[in-house]
Amino acid sequence: MDSGFGSRRDNLVKKENDSHPGEATDDYEADKSVKEGQISRTDKLGSAGLYVVVSILITFANKVVLTSYDLRSFVFVSFSQALTAVILLPVVCKVFKYPLPSDLWKSFKSLHPLPLISVLNAVFSLGGTQRLSIPMMTVLRRFTILLTMIFELFLLKVYPSPMVAASVAMMIIGAVIAVVDDLVFSLSGYIFVLSSDVFTALNGVFNKKKMEDCKEVGMHGILFVNNLFCAPVMCAVSILNGDMKRVIGLDVWKDPRFIAWFGLASTLGVCLHFSMLYCTHANSALTTSVVGCLKNIATTYGGMVLVPGYAFTVWNFIGINLSMAGSLVYSGVRYFEIRRKG
């Protein structure tokens, strides 16, 4: 990531959340003044590869930390991730000369209710990760796109094209088929993931709105304020429900493998944010969206093979594949729609 990435930060403009919603990722459209010849092919491929690697790693790291050891506290993990973001964001922003808001209380009030939505999104997302297999969690996260379309329709008056609506319907039908034949059905897991879908969609819509209404805060400022609000809230909850005391007393802290996974789970959220920005800067918002779709497919099938918890059935597998195919069609439709507008 060269210094040019930092110096051209103002060329990144908030676009639209077409990426995989479980990671909270936003799309940004690179300014067209950045010419193709200014960025090497190696940078383009490397940035896309970095985004894929970080995105997949954070999914698997969260799953391993929450299910393969005795920790089993998504509230504590959420606190750790928010605290790490609060510590790392000012350092990274200083290095790359990104501005952060000076009046945090004023920024918090202007962003309301986004920080609260962000907290609920993080909690329900990690809770779903703990309770469901990675393939089923990824498929159920397709409902986020449907909910985002609905919220944008009513809140922002954004109308989807018939082809976009049809591809989303394909994803949802596949998800429903997969759910009907899920042998390891977990009601609490489904409630957590579907709740996360609602708050992810709201988070994306309000992020888009606040980026327009609170331009002085900026995209990095929004991320910082959200985590600054989340960290003490999750800390208080983990203390009150006993998770903090229980987790600190676990023997897993003597296991270097757990420490490595926990470190990845805690730090990769910030890394994901900046790897997404780098991919968008070196390529385009559309490329980031398509890469996110391909990453979701890799995560789904990788989760079937590499992580315990997925129970294969014919109809469940058909549903997952149909949903993944719908995701590819959706990315293709969005690609041609944006190219026509451009």
Contact by Cβ (8 Å): 78, 309: no
Q: Give, to the nearest 10 degrees, the angle between helix 104-111 and helix 218-240.
A: 90
- Residue 276 in this model has a pLDDT that exceeds 90: no
159-204 pLDDT per residue, tens: 888 998 999 899 999 999 998 888 778 889 999 999 988 998 888 7
Give the span between the Cα atoms of 133 and 177, in whole angstroms: 16
- Residue 134 in this model has a pLDDT that exceeds 70: yes
50-81 pLDDT per residue, tens: 989 998 999 999 999 998 887 889 999 999 99
Residue 230: which of 63, 50, 24, 64 has the closest Cα?
Answer: 24
Please state, in angstroms and as integers, the Cα–Cα distance from residue 112 to each residue in 186, 297, 341, following that order: 33, 34, 33
Lowest mean pLDDT among 78-92, 158-172, 230-244, 254-268: 158-172
Residue 150 sits at φ, ψ, to 5 deg, of -65, -45
Residue 13 sits at φ, ψ, to 5 deg, of -120, 140
Sign of the alpha-carbon torsion through 285, 289, 295, 296 = positive
- Residue 142 in this model has a pLDDT that exceeds 50: yes
Question: What is the helix, strand, coil percentage profile of the chain, to 5?
Answer: 80, 0, 20
Q: What is the pLDDT of residue 80?
A: 95
Q: What is the pLDDT of residue 318?
A: 94
To the question of pTM greater than 0.75 for the whole model, the response is yes
Contact by Cβ (8 Å): 300, 135: yes
Per DSSP, 326 falls in state H
- CA–chain centroid gap for 315, Å, is 28
Residue 316 sits at φ, ψ, to 5 deg, of -60, -45
